[in-house]
Every structure is written in structure tokens, then in C-alpha cells.
Amino acid sequence: MNNLFLLFPLLSFLIVAARVLAVPAASDMTMTTAEFGSTDQLLDYTLTPLYNNQVAKALRVHVKICQPSIEVGATLLATPIEITQVDVGHFEDDAIIAEDSNGPLSLTRKVDKFGPPVVYQNWQVSRQTSGIITATYTALPRQVNSSTKNGPSFELRQNFGGLLGSGLGFLTVPPSTGSEKRFYNTTVRWNLSEAPEGTRAVWTWAEGPDATTRRIELTEIPASYFMVGKIQSITDGDFGMYWLGDPPFNTTEIANQLKLSHQWMREFFDDQEQVYRVFIRYNPFRGSRAGTALKRSFMFSYDDEDRAQPASLSDYLLFLSHEMVHNWPALDTGVEENWYTEGLAEYYSLILNRRAGLISDAQLCDEMNSRLTMYYTNSLASLTNVEVAKLTWTASEAQRIPYGRGLVFALKLNALIQKGSQDREQSIDNLVLELLDRSRLEQLGGLLTGGRAQAQALYDSMASGDLVIPEVDSLGDHGLKLIRQDAPVWELGFNERDAIQGKRVVSGLVPGSAAANAGLRNGDRICSRIDLDSTRSDLKAVLKLRIERSEGEEMTISFVPRSNIIAERWIYINEATNGIEQITNEL
């Protein structure tokens, strides 16, 4: 990584080109077989679903590896065993069977002692390798039930007789070492010879069982999605949406809206690659509209509650657009810089859909205010980026901070840049688009009237946990202005982790909280869904909990999860009406 990125974290975001770096940006575009170099290394995968009574129970993986010889004790293949507290990488007998040109190759499995968020398992060789290596193992789907905690869509899972998941959940690759990128000629094919009639297979980069070869950077090989089974789909060229079973929403409407949104985003980000695939999975536990974006694809989930309370088309569009934006703005930094990737995904999922005419100014205002309310009334809003990062995998309130903080920071910067440029010709778009070309860097100071000092001060203030407040006219182009309207801080009132996983019981009840005042008790078993984000974004949202007491008594307890602490909050209003209707609706 260039020293500028290490020296100034803000340079990863506060950028427009001013000096040319010595090292050209490495392309992450895949290439056809004809474009491969003769010295490129090779990975060749054959994926075979294994069936029992017409149901896929496992996935046999056969991989051929062509690369330089490795020494005794070195790692041949690796894959995660845990990612953000989601168990992945389940293999039959934890074993990989391998051989090279000298015969059988004994492998020893070793699990890393460091992590989270990612813990790796490694298979190390007992002798120096020679020639082409072949390895075979059986990947098993993660076992889940109604008590499983929701999490990112990384693991291999069963769904409606088929299998789906990301390569991070089952696909072994050579270890990534150092900062230098390593590219492999990567082939994936499916063996469906023993699969039931009508079985289909799809990978992020290709649809169908035939061999597809791409030149891919090593770390991005497993960062793709796979699905096999009785797949249904809606496709248009290399854009497609794929699912198993019968989702409780109109897949045609959602696919058509996403396709339009994707086309707009591709043009905005000047992206020549057309491949993009959306995968849908069912969760038997409470985990609705949970999305995980990987390279040129993402997967989102639904659960049984979605059948009873389906979301609107607009809700799906914005949620899924957020995941889609992740394909472009990204940083090679740690979780403490999530404000950039998540904040810009929030910003552009709204702004680009408005530019495309897929949402109105009124919808833009409502969606912005929902997100601003979540940010300003978050009890952790004053924590630094580093402090938030330490809590990311233990508290959902910490997970939400980068989304809101990054969004309001983008809104603020966009307005400041526009004010500092002639005829408002420059905007945050210039920064983000230049960042996609890593061969040119410069600080934001070139676009701000205050220069480098102002750029550094803006970043330091945001990263230290100071409240970020956009300019009053930051959305003036949409007829909106920012006003202050304070609001009570969000407070669940009991231990969140115990309430959403395992036996789902109330513990750590906060005396005097709205939950306690409503009659909730420690030990109550929660039998209904807890939709945290809807109560965080709406000041009047009522949390209704169906609970069961130890004596068998069942009841519903309702309360507004807000504390008595009042937070400084800023929202947008319609400038023409001065927001009278909006403010009245909140009261």
C-alpha cells in the first residue's frame, strides 16, 4: 500500500489526483483465456453436489494447482473457519486429500490463533511439493435452525434441496502473503452428472455447468457466490437474479428495478464490466433483508416474517442498491475505516437512484431523515472510529455508526466542495471517481477553500467522534434544507445479544427504561421478531414483543425504545413548505 494511505487515512477518501505514483494501479478486471500470460499460476476447480433423496447434502471440491514448489511446513491451501462470528469452512473429517507428481501428499490442518473478525484454517505440506498438485475434499453446509443468530451471507448453506453460499465458506485457495497481488488463471466447472433432472448451477462469473476460466486476483477468488439446485432466475445478458424456493416478494419487479439501478451505477462509475449477479437465500431464523456484497455480486436474505409483513418495492430497491454500490467505492483499510465504504453506499444508493428517477425528492428526504435519526440518536455516536471498530462484532449500535457517520460526512463534504468550486462544477463525485483510479492521488485540500488544513481537520473531527453536521443547503438541489430538531436517544433497555439468539430471553433489564416501565421482566422469553432498525429510524415506532413467562403465561408488551436523554439531531425538510407537515407527523 502506498505510504500516503498509511500516513493519512483521510487520503483514502479525500482525494483528487495531483501527483503520479510510481506503481500503476493493478487491474481487477478478469480476462479471457487468450489474454493469459504463460507464467500465470493456475487453479482449476470441479464442484460436484452430492445428493441423498434428491436433496444436496454436500459439495465435493476437486482442485488442480499449478504454481511454484512450496517448502516443508508451508501452507498449501487455506480457507476461513470463522468470519465475523459466523462459523464457515466445514469439511468432512476436516480433511483434504492431496497428491503431486511424487505421489500422495500428507497435509496437516492448523487453525490460526488470531482473529476475529476472520480466523483461518490452513493445510500444511509434510514435504516439498513437486509439479501439479491435485486436492479433493467434501464441503458440508452449515447447520442452522430458528435460534441461529443472523449474520453475513458467507457460509455454505442448504436451501430448498440445493446449496448456496460464498466461496469464503468452502473454497480453499493458496495463502495470501504480503501486499503484492497474485493473479491465478481460475477455472470453475460443475459436475451435475448425478444431480436430479432440472438442476442448474451458477457462479458469480458464469451461469451453467461448463468450465469458465478467468484471470482473478487471489483474494478475490473465494469472494464470489455459488448456487446449485432447482434454480429460478431473471436474467438480462450478464445481469441476473437467482433463487431457490418461493420468495415472498415480486422477484420480477425487484429484478427490473435493480437492473435499472445497476445500469445507472455502471455508467456513473465508468465500469466496463457487465457481469453482476444477485443471489437470494431463505433464513429459517430471524434475518430479513440482510445483505452481503462481494465481487460483482451480492446475496440477500428473507425469513418467514416477510410472508406476514412484506416490505415495499422501494424498501427493497434502496436496501439492495446499498449492497450494489459496494462493488465500486472501497478502501484497503481496516474496519475502523468502514465509514467510507458503508457511508458512501448509503449516500450513492440514495443519490444515484434519485438521479435515475427511481425515487422522488420526497422519498429522498424521508430516507435521509431515517438514516440521520439513527445516527444522531445512537448512544455510541460520540465514540471514535477506533472505539466503534472494537465493538463492531458485539453491538449492533456500533455496527450502525459507520453507515450514518459516513453518510453525513459525505453530505457535508459534497456541499463544501461545491461551494469551493466555480459554478458548483466540482462535487464529492470527483473524489470518489478519482479514487477508483489508484494511480493518481491528492488531498482534498485542492478542492476546499481552506486547503489541506481544512481537509485534515474535517477528517480528524469525524474520526474522533465529533458530531458531523452537513451544511444547511447540502441537499438544496433537491429543494431540501437542514434544520435542528432534537430527539430522545434510542435505548432497547435490555441485553440485545441474549434477546436475538439462543433461548432469546430478556436479561440485563435497565431499571427505569421504557422496556422496564412497560412491564418486561428478566427471564421473559421473546417469541416475536425484533426489528431494531425500524425503531431506530422512527421516533414514534413501537416495539411489540410477544413474550412467554416461566409460568406459561403469554402476553404482548409494547413500548417506544427511547430514553430520557435528548440528543442533538438534524433532519432535512421541504424548503418550500418549511417542513410543517414533516414536523407535525413526528409529534
Write the pLDDT tens digit of every residue in 16-59: 322 222 223 333 333 333 344 445 799 999 999 999 999 999 99
Residue 580: predicted pLDDT: 60
Dihedral over alpha carbons 344, 349, 350, 354 (to 10 degrees): 130
Q: The domain that contains 553 carries what CATH number?
A: 2.30.42.10
Same domain, yes or no: 406 and 499? no
Same domain, yes or no: 224 and 144? yes
- Mean of per-residue pLDDT scores for the chain: 87
Same domain, yes or no: 559 and 466? no
Kindly state the average pLDDT of the residues 165-192. 94
Q: Would you place residue 196 in the very low, low, confident or very high pLDDT band (cuts 50, 70, 90)?
A: very high
Q: Is residue 288 part of a domain?
A: no
* Exposed/middle/buried for residue 83 (C-beta within 10 Å: 0-12, 13-18, 19+): buried
Lowest mean pLDDT among 122-131, 187-196, 550-559: 550-559
Kindly state the average pLDDT of the residues 170-175. 97
Q: Is residue 301 part of a domain?
A: no
Q: Is residue 477 part of a domain?
A: yes
Q: pLDDT tens digit string along 265-304?
A: 999 998 988 999 999 999 998 877 778 999 999 999 999 8
- The yes-or-no verdict on residue 508 having pLDDT over 80 is yes
Q: Would you place residue 129 in the very low, low, confident or very high pLDDT band (cuts 50, 70, 90)?
A: very high
The CA distance from 571 to 486, in Å, is 9
Kindly state the average pLDDT of the residues 207-225. 96
Q: Is residue 517 part of a domain?
A: yes
Lowest mean pLDDT among 156-160, 316-320, 359-363, 409-413: 316-320
| Number of domains comprising the chain | 3
- The yes-or-no verdict on residue 376 having pLDDT over 60 is yes
Residue spans of alpha helices (H) in 210-329 = 251-268, 305-308, 313-325
Among 195, 230, 265, which residue terminates a domain? 230
Same domain, yes or no: 149 and 42? yes
The CA distance from 463 to 382, in Å, is 10
- The yes-or-no verdict on residue 333 having pLDDT over 90 is no
Strands 480-484 and 570-574: antiparallel
The residue type of 219 is T
Among 230, 264, 285, which residue terminates a domain? 230
Among 230, 265, 296, which residue terminates a domain? 230
Same domain, yes or no: 474 and 504? no
Residue 2: predicted pLDDT: 32
Higher pLDDT, 392 or 254: 254
Residue 149: predicted pLDDT: 82
Would you report the helix, strand and coil content of the chain in percent, each value rounded to 5? Answer: 30, 30, 40
- Report the residue count for the chain: 587
Percentage of the chain modeled with pLDDT above 70: 87
Q: Is residue 217 part of a domain?
A: yes
Residue 232: predicted pLDDT: 98
Same domain, yes or no: 479 and 492? no
Same domain, yes or no: 454 and 380? yes
Residue 113: predicted pLDDT: 84
Residue 147: predicted pLDDT: 80
Same domain, yes or no: 397 and 415? yes
Q: What is the largest CA-CA distance in the chain?
A: 80
Q: The domain that contains 169 carries what CATH number?
A: 2.60.40.3650
- The yes-or-no verdict on residue 4 having pLDDT over 70 is no
Same domain, yes or no: 517 and 402? no
Lowest mean pLDDT among 88-97, 102-111, 332-341, 517-526: 332-341
Q: pLDDT tens digit string along 62-119?
A: 999 999 999 999 999 999 999 988 999 999 999 999 999 999 999 999 999 877 789 9
Same domain, yes or no: 92 and 216? yes
Q: Is residue 298 part of a domain?
A: no
Same domain, yes or no: 476 and 555? no
- The closest of 561, 528, 518, 159 to 396, measured between CA atoms, is 561
Domain that holds residue 145: 38-230
Kindly state the average pLDDT of the residues 425-432. 85
- The yes-or-no verdict on residue 520 having pLDDT over 80 is yes
Same domain, yes or no: 578 and 468? yes
Q: Is residue 302 part of a domain?
A: no
The residue type of 36 is F
Q: pLDDT tens digit string along 242-269?
A: 999 999 999 999 999 999 999 999 999 9
Q: The domain that contains 468 carries what CATH number?
A: 1.10.390
Q: Is residue 5 part of a domain?
A: no
Cell of 276: 453482476
